[in-house]
Amino acid sequence: MEDKKKNETRQSTMQNRMENMNGQKPKTISIVISVYNEEKALHEFYREATPVFEALPWNYELIFVNDGSADASGQILAELAAADPRVRVINFSRNFGHEAAMLAGLDHSSGEGIVCMDADLQHPPECVAQIIEKFEEGYEVINMVRTKNKSAGFIKNLTSAFYKFLNKISDVKLENNASDFFALTANAAQVLKTNYREKVRFLRGYVQNIGFNRTTIEYEARARVAGESKYSIRKLFKFSINTILCFSDLPLKLGIYSGIIVGFLGLLVMLETIYEWAVKGTPNGYATIVVLLCFMFAMLFVIVGIIGEYIAILFTELKDRPIYIVHDTKGFPEKES
């Protein structure tokens, strides 16, 4: 019965594709999945997502990017690639981070449309059909906006607040609750692949910043099918700092603003001192001086630290080390292996 259902699904898929071909070769959508220690989720993702993708009007390829997983993820992906010719695998030499994995998937994709998503099924595979509809309507950049997250906790809520804060201090306005679930046409992706190669980057921000004909699709994030989030509070804090520095020069202007504030406070202290001298005869300025010194030195160290962060980013870009290193690939045509 199961084989019969699979055959019926394939026949229906082929019929839909033939109806949409109009004598032309069917288009392909590349689905990029970032993988880091997802051994518990990979089989479930493949089992649930494959029938959904087979029903699409476009052909598809699954590009799994193994971001230096320390568990059995690499072995599972090798088995999937050996069993399914539509599965491609990119193995990194070590862990380079989620954004590097997505960029590697973009670099190795061959479809007319590209979708980036996670392997934990929080990004519903069913949304890919909606994405293709938007592509066929002429949209080139599609932001997936999360309306609800069944596994959302303090960190996810903090992320939403961060978007609002970033929009306040940056000239670039980002969609609230946008995620690493997004889609691009090959033309739009080419811009990211050639012009946005920073070593310190915020890819989902770049996707919303490159222009093109853009739209959004709302979705409800599921609970993780297995495992835990790979973003700790420390990693999110570092990621947030880098994002702010990439999209805003306001921190560099804090020196000017703090100078104005300290100057105003100094004027108030001077007036207060004159008042005490006029009324009491002998002003007591010891506590005031200590407070002002502590405040000014604190502001000074903060500003120096911010400048140091910008210099660190410049130094990273100047070294121009690779964003990622590919150890090996599986399932790609000979010319890409």
For the stretch 219-244, pLDDT in tens is 887 776 665 555 556 666 666 666 66
Q: For 293-318, what is the mean pLDDT?
A: 75
Mean pLDDT of the chain: 76
Q: Are 39 and 72 in contact (CB under 8 A)?
A: yes
Instruction: Identify the burial level of 61 via C-beta atoms within 10 angstroms of its C-beta, where 0-12 means exposed, 13-18 middle and 19 or more buried.
Output: buried
Kindly indicate the confidence band of residue 120, based on its pLDDT and cuts at 50, 70 and 90.
Answer: confident
Rounded CA-CA distance 131/116 in Å is 11
Q: Are 57 and 84 in contact (CB under 8 A)?
A: no
Q: What tokens appear for 47 in the block? A: 């089992």
For residue 10, what pLDDT is reported? 45
Residues in the chain: 337
For residue 154, what pLDDT is reported? 53
Kindly indicate the confidence band of residue 21, based on its pLDDT and cuts at 50, 70 and 90.
Answer: very low
Which residue bears the tokens 């992320």?
159
For residue 214, what pLDDT is reported? 86
Instruction: Identify the burial level of 314 via C-beta atoms within 10 angstroms of its C-beta, where 0-12 means exposed, 13-18 middle and 19 or more buried.
Output: exposed
DSSP letter assigned to residue 26: P
Q: For 46-65, what is the mean pLDDT?
A: 91
Q: Is 254's pLDDT higher than 60?
A: yes
Rounded CA-CA distance 244/167 in Å is 10
Kindly indicate the confidence band of residue 61, based on its pLDDT and cuts at 50, 70 and 90.
Answer: very high
Q: Which residue has the higher pLDDT, 99 or 267?
A: 99
Q: Is 34's pLDDT higher than 80?
A: yes
Q: For 179-203, what is the mean pLDDT?
A: 82
Transcribe 152-193 into DSSP letters: --HHHHHHHHHHHHHHHH-SS---TTEEEEEEEEHHHHHHHH
Kindly indicate the confidence band of residue 80, based on its pLDDT and cuts at 50, 70 and 90.
Answer: very high
For residue 62, what pLDDT is reported? 93
- Percent of the chain scoring above 90 in pLDDT: 15
Mean pLDDT comparison of 111-115, 119-123, 143-147, 177-181, highest-scoring range: 111-115
Q: For 141-157, what is the mean pLDDT?
A: 67
Q: Is 103's pLDDT higher than 70?
A: yes
156-165: b (≥16 Cβ within 10 Å) or e: beebeebbee
